[in-house]
Amino acid sequence: MASPGVRVLLLLVLVSSAHGDASGINRTRGNRTLTPEEEEDSQQHHNNTKAFPVLSFNFEHVRKPFEISLWILLALLMKLGFHLIPRVSHIVPESCLLIVVGLLVGGVIKALDSDASDTNSSVPVLNTKLFFLYLLPPIILDAGYFLPIRHFTENLGTILMFAVVGTLWNAFFIGGMMYGVCQIEAAQLGDVDLLSCLLFGSIISAVDPVAVLAVFEEIHINELLYILVFGESLLNDAVTVVLYHLFEEFSHAGTVTITDAFLGVICFFVVSLGGVMIGLIYGIVGAFTSRFTLHSRVIEPLFVFLYSYMAYLSAEVFHLSGIMSLIACGVAMRPYVEANISHKSYTTIKYFMKMWSSVSETLIFIFLGVSTVAGPHVWNWTFVIFTVILCLVSRVLGVVGLTFIINKFRIVKLTKKDQFIVAYGGLRGAIAFSLGFLLTDTHMKTMFLTAIITVIFFTVFVQGMTIRPLVELLAVKKKKETKRSINEEIHTQFLDHLLTGIEDVCGHYGHHHWKDKLNRFNKTYVKKCLISGERSTEPQLISFYNKMELRQAMMLVESGSLAVLPSLTSMQNIQPRDTVKQRVIPSISKRREEEIRKMLRSNLQKTRQRLRSYSRHDLMMDPFEEDLSEVKFRKQRVEMGRRVRLTETHLNVHNSLSFKGMVSQMGYSMPLQGGERKENKQMKALKMWGFIMFIFS
Amino acid sequence: MGALMSAADHPEHSDLTDRTGFSLEQIGVLRKRFKQLSHNEETLRREHFNEIPDLACNPIRAQIIEAFFDTRNFHQNGERTVQGTVQEISFKDFLVVMSHFRPPSLHMTEEQREHVRREKLRFLFNMHDTDNDGTITLEEYRHVVEELLSRSGALEKETAKCIADAAMLEVASISMGHMEPDEFYEGITFEHFFKLLKGFDIEAKMNIRFLNMATTLCK
C-alpha cells in the first residue's frame, strides 16, 4: 500500500509530465508548421512508407478539460490523503495542509518551467475571473441554502453591526495607520498616497467566508458564535464591494469631494438592498417553478442550482453584491422548494451542494498556494509587519468597542469569551487576494499583493491552527450534537406563541410580534401560491413529525435487519390500560404513502439478499451524514441478533387509507416486543414491522 | 412623565424591585399598562385579557390567560401554598408573573443560571399541568399539541394524538429507561421535564425585551 507521500510524488510527476508534454507538443508543432512546401516534401518522402496510423497522439485537443480534471483530481486525492494521517489532521486544519500542497505543486511547476521559456510563466494563478465566477458561488450557495435561519434572524442586528460598522472601522483604521507608517522616512514608502492606503485597507479588512467556514467547521463551536462570525463574513461583502470600487475610482481621480462620499453611502444601500432584491426575485420564481415539477422529478435539483447561479450573475452584472443576492435566493427558495420536491431530489441537492462547495474550497486553497509561488513579490519588511499587526489590533478594538454598544441592546449579552472568539475568528482569505489581483498594475500592486498574502497566511496558519486549542482552553460551549427531538420542536413552537402572547399583553410590538405577523402572512398568502397540493396548508409541527417518521423508516430499513429493534418503553407503558385497544396510525396523504412504500420496498428487497452481511456503514463516519445513531443501530443489531422475541400488540383499523389498513387487509396481527436494549422509537418500529410483513407476504 | 418615576411616588415599588428584579422604570411602564388593561381598576380579570385584540389569533390564548390567574405562578419558586386559580389579580401578581420573562443578567454564576432555568421551566410546566397534580399526563400533553395545531386549518386530531404520543414515549424512555411491559408511566414530573429540556437553553430563549416599552405602548 503506497504511503501518501509516494502517492503525492507520483501525482506531482504526473502533473509535471502532463505539463511538460503539453509544452513539448507545442514545440514540435511549432517546428512542423514551418512551410507548406517542406511539409509536402516530407509527406511525399514518407508517402510510400506511411501506413495508416493505428495509434496517434493528439493532446492539444483535450488539453484544457484534461488539465482541469487533473487539478480537481489532485485536490481531491490530497483531501483523501490527509485523513489517512490522523495525527496531522487533528492538529492542523485542512486549509493549511491544502495551501502547503499548493506551494509544493507551484514550486514543482515553477522549477520545471524555469528551464523552458521564462518570458511568461505558465504556472496557473488564481485567476480573478475563475475565482469569482466559478469557485466562489458554490461555497456561498451551500452556506446560504443551509443557513440556520432562526439564529440568523435573532442575531441580525448584531451581525449587521459587525459587518457594516466593523468593516468600515477596519478599513479606515488600517488605511489611515498605514498611511502614517508610510510617512516614516526609513521605510522608503513615501510614494504610497492616502487613497492607495485606504484602498489597501478596504481590501484587507473584510473577513472571508471561505476561510471562516474551513476553520470553524472543524471546531464545532456553538451556533451563536458560528452565526456571528459567519454571518458577518457574508454580509460584509456589500461594504467591501462599495469601498473597493469607491477607492479605486478615487485613486484614479486623485481627489475626494463631499458629494463623492455622499454618493458612496447611497451606493452602499443600493448595492446591498439591490443584491438582496435580485436574490429574492429569483428565489420566488424558483420556488414557483418547483411547484410544477411533479412529473419531472429528475430535473428538480437543477432548478435550484440554476436559479441561484443566475441570481449571482445578474447581481454581478450591475456591480451589486453577488454574495448577498445568492444568500437571499437560497433563503427565500428553501422552505417552499423543500415542500415541493421529492425526497430523492432533496438528498441530491444537499449532496451536490456539499460536493461542489467542498471541491471549490479545496481548489481555492491549493491555488492560493500555487499563486504564492508564481506571482512576483516585493517584500518590504515595514509594510508587511505593520499590516499584520494593524489587522490584529483593529480587529480586537473593533470587536470590543462594538460589543460594548451592542450589549446595550441585546437580551443575551456577549461575554468576554464570545468577544475573544469573534475577534480571533476574523480570518482573511482568497477574496482579499482576488480583489488585490484585480488592482490596476502599479508598482505598488505587487507590494500590496505580498502583504495580502502574508496576512492571509498568518491568519489561516497561526490563527487557524491555534483556535482549536484555545477553544478547548477557554471551554467555549460547543455545538449541540444531538438532533432535535419532537419535544423540543413542540416547545419551540409553544414558546414562540407564548412569547408573542406575552408581548401582546404588555402591549409591546417586539421581535416576536412581527415574526408572528410574518408567519401568518406567509401561511395565508405565500404558501398557497408557491407550494403545490395539500402541503400548502400543512403546519410546521406536522411536517417536522412526518420528516422524522421518514427518517426513522429509512434508518430502520438501512440497518439491514429484519429483527425488530426491541425498545425500552412501548405504547402500553404510557397509555392507560383500557385504552390500549384504540391506538391509531395517522393517515398520511396518498402521495407520501406511495413514496414511503416504494422506498421501503426497494430497500427491503436489497435487505433480503444481505440478511447476514455487514451493513455498508462500515465506512468512517461521513461528517455530512446526519444520523449518528446509525452506528448505534449497527451495534445494537449485532448484539441482539440472537434474540428476537415477539410480543403482541393490537392494531385496529380505522380507515383503509392508512398503512395499518394495508396490514389489516392481510388479516395480520403483528407481534412486537419490548426488549432489553434502549430504543426510544418503538412506535415507529411497530409500523415498520407492519410494512415489512406486508411486503414480504 | 415617562421613565423618571421616583420611589417616593409609589413606595411599594421599591419592595417590588427587590422581589421581582425589575427596575423602577420598568415597573412604572408595566403599571401604566396594567391601568390601561384594567380600565383604571385595581384588579385585572379574565374579561380584560379577552379584550386585547392581538391575542385573539394566538392558538394558545386560553393557556396564557390561565397562567396569569394560576396561583402557582405567584411565588418566586413556583411553590404552591394555595392551589387553584383566582378570579382576579392585583398589580403585584401581574408583576410576579411577568418577572418570569426577565432576561438573565450578564454576570451570573452557574448556580444562579440554573435557578433561573428552573423558574422558567416551572412556569412552562405549570402551563401544561392544568389539573395541578404535579404531573403532565398523556391527556394533558395531547391537549397541548391539539391547541398548538388548532389554528392551522384542518384539525387532524389523530395526527395531533400521534405526535403527543411520540413525544410522551420519548420522555418516558429518557427518564425511565427500561420499563416492563406492564408498568405504567404516570406522567411527566417536573424533574423529568427539567431533564428533558436541559439542552434547550431556555434561559436564553424565554425572554421579553422590557427595555424600550415606554415608546411602543399601543392602544
Q: Can you tell me the distance from the alpha carbon of B67 to that of B212, in angstroms, rounded to the nearest whole number? A: 24
Q: How far is A265 from chain B (nearest CA, A)?
A: 29
Residue with cell 478594538: A397
Which range among A74-83, A292-301, B54-63, B69-78 shows the weakest confidence by mean pLDDT?
B69-78
* 3-class secondary structure, A123: coil
User: Residue A325: what pLDDT?
Assistant: 94
Residue with cell 495551501: A99
Which range among A165-174, B2-11, B118-127 shows the weakest confidence by mean pLDDT?
B2-11
Is the Cα torsion angle A450, A456, A461, A462 positive or negative in sign?
Answer: positive
User: Residue A393: what pLDDT?
Assistant: 93
Report residue A388 as a C-alpha cell: 499584520
User: Residue B91: what pLDDT?
Assistant: 84
Both B21 and B85 in one domain: the answer is yes
Both B132 and B100 in one domain: the answer is no
Overall average pLDDT of the B3-18 stretch: 60
Kind and range of the H or E run holding A590: helix A590-609
Q: How confident is the model at residue A579 (pLDDT cuts 50, 70, 90)?
A: very low
- B209 vs A contacts (CB less than 8 Å): 411, 508, 510-511
| Domains of chain B: total | 2
Q: How confident is the model at residue A237 (pLDDT cuts 50, 70, 90)?
A: confident
User: Residue A198: what pLDDT?
Assistant: 87
Interface predicted TM-score (ipTM): 0.89
In a domain, B78, yes or no: yes
Both B12 and B71 in one domain: the answer is yes
Instruction: Name the closest residue on chain B to residue A682, using Cα atoms.
Output: B169
The whole domain housing B156 covers 128-203
Q: How far is A521 from chain B (nearest CA, A)?
A: 13
In eight-state DSSP terms, residue A613 is S
Q: Can you tell me the distance from the alpha carbon of B31 to that of B38, in angstroms, rounded to the nearest whole number? A: 10
User: Residue A682: what pLDDT?
Assistant: 52
In a domain, B119, yes or no: no
For residue range A379-427, list pLDDT tens digits in order.
Answer: 888 888 889 999 999 999 999 999 999 988 887 888 888 899 999 988 9
Angle formed at CA A303 by CA A223 and CA A359, multiple of 5 degrees: 55
If you compute the radius of gyration of chain B from its CA atoms, what whole number of angstroms results?
A: 19
Q: Nearest 5°: phi and psi at A447?
A: -65, -40
Report residue B145 as a C-alpha cell: 399539541
Report residue A398 as a C-alpha cell: 473593533
Q: Is A343's pLDDT higher than 70?
A: yes
Q: Hey, are the CB atoms on A683 and B169 less than 8 Å from each other?
A: yes
Contact A205, A457 (CB under 8 A): no
Among A509, A548, A647, select the one facing B218 at the smallest CB separation. Answer: A509
Contact A170, A201 (CB under 8 A): yes
Higher pLDDT, A534 or A486: A486
Give the predicted TM-score (pTM) of the model.
Answer: 0.74
Both B11 and B102 in one domain: the answer is yes
User: Residue A9: what pLDDT?
Assistant: 55
User: Residue A402: what pLDDT?
Assistant: 93
Both B95 and B185 in one domain: the answer is no
Which range among A44-53, A239-248, A552-561, A625-634 shows the weakest confidence by mean pLDDT?
A625-634
Q: Is B86 on the interface with A (CB under 8 A)?
A: no
Both B75 and B9 in one domain: the answer is yes
Contact A422, A158 (CB under 8 A): no
User: Residue A665: what pLDDT?
Assistant: 37
In a domain, B117, yes or no: no
Q: Can you tell me the distance from the alpha carbon of A173 to that of A181, in angstroms, rounded to the nearest whole number? A: 12
Q: Can you tell me the distance from the alpha carbon of A234 to that of A11, in angstroms, rounded to the nearest whole number? A: 35
Q: Is B213 on the interface with A (CB under 8 A)?
A: yes
Both B102 and B16 in one domain: the answer is yes
Q: Hey, are the CB atoms on B58 and A504 less than 8 Å from each other?
A: yes
Q: Hey, are the CB atoms on B152 and A584 less than 8 Å from each other?
A: no
Contact A353, A138 (CB under 8 A): yes
Q: Is A119's pLDDT higher than 50?
A: no
User: Residue A403: what pLDDT?
Assistant: 93
The amino acid sitting at A54 is V
The domain that contains B165 carries what CATH number?
1.10.238
Q: Hey, are the CB atoms on A495 and B206 less than 8 Å from each other?
A: yes
Q: Nearest 5°: phi and psi at A559?
A: -70, -5
In a domain, B36, yes or no: yes
Q: Hey, are the CB atoms on B158 and A569 less than 8 Å from each other?
A: no
Instruction: Name the closest residue on chain B to residue A509, using Cα atoms.
Output: B216
Q: Can you tell me the distance from the alpha carbon of B29 to that of B20, in angstroms, rounded to the nearest whole number? A: 14
Residue with cell 415542500: A339
Q: Hey, are the CB atoms on B158 and A488 less than 8 Å from each other?
A: no
Q: pLDDT > 70: what percent of chain B?
A: 79
Residue with cell 397541548: B144
In a domain, B112, yes or no: no
* 3-class secondary structure, A321: coil
Q: Is B189 on the interface with A (CB under 8 A)?
A: no
Q: Is B2's pLDDT higher than 50?
A: no
Both B13 and B82 in one domain: the answer is yes
Contact A78, A10 (CB under 8 A): no
Report residue B165 as a C-alpha cell: 404520543
Residues 6+ apart with CB under 8 A from B181: A570, A572, A573, A647, A674
Q: Hey, are the CB atoms on B60 and A498 less than 8 Å from each other?
A: yes
Among A485, A501, A574, select the one facing B172 at the smallest CB separation. Answer: A574
Q: Which of A418, A400, A421, A399 is nearest to A467 (CA)?
A: A421
The amino acid sitting at B115 is H
Question: What is the count of residue pairs from A and B with beta carbons less than 8 Å apart?
Answer: 195
Both B17 and B98 in one domain: the answer is yes
For residue range B29-83, list pLDDT tens digits in order.
Answer: 888 888 888 888 888 888 888 888 878 888 888 888 888 888 777 765 545 555 6
Q: Is B96 on the interface with A (CB under 8 A)?
A: no
Q: Hey, are the CB atoms on A542 and B168 less than 8 Å from each other?
A: no
Contact A237, A321 (CB under 8 A): yes
User: Residue A34: what pLDDT?
Assistant: 43
Q: Is A570 on the interface with B (CB under 8 A)?
A: yes
The domain that contains B21 carries what CATH number?
1.10.238.10
Both B81 and B151 in one domain: the answer is no
Q: Nearest 5°: phi and psi at A588?
A: -95, 160
Contact B60, B147 (CB under 8 A): yes
- CA end-to-end span of chain A, whole Å? 48
Q: How far is B106 from chain A (nearest CA, A)?
A: 6
**Residue A376: exposed, middle, or buried by beta-carbon count in 10 A (0-12, 13-18, 19+)?**
exposed
Q: Can you tell me the distance from the alpha carbon of A478 to that of A339, in angstroms, rounded to the nearest whole number? A: 31
In a domain, B66, yes or no: yes
Q: Hey, are the CB atoms on A573 and B179 less than 8 Å from each other?
A: yes
Residues 6+ apart with CB under 8 A from A328: A144, A275, A276, A277, A278, A279, A280, A283, A311
Contact A329, A144 (CB under 8 A): yes
User: Residue A279: what pLDDT?
Assistant: 94
Q: Is A510's pLDDT higher than 80?
A: no
Q: How far is B1 from chain A (nearest CA, A)?
A: 18
User: Residue B77: what pLDDT?
Assistant: 54
The amino acid sitting at A692 is I
Q: Is B166 on the interface with A (CB under 8 A)?
A: yes
Both B33 and B67 in one domain: the answer is yes
In a domain, B123, yes or no: no
Both B103 and B132 in one domain: the answer is no
Q: Can you tell me the distance from the alpha carbon of A689 to that of A663, in angstroms, rounded to the nearest whole number? A: 10
In a domain, B149, yes or no: yes
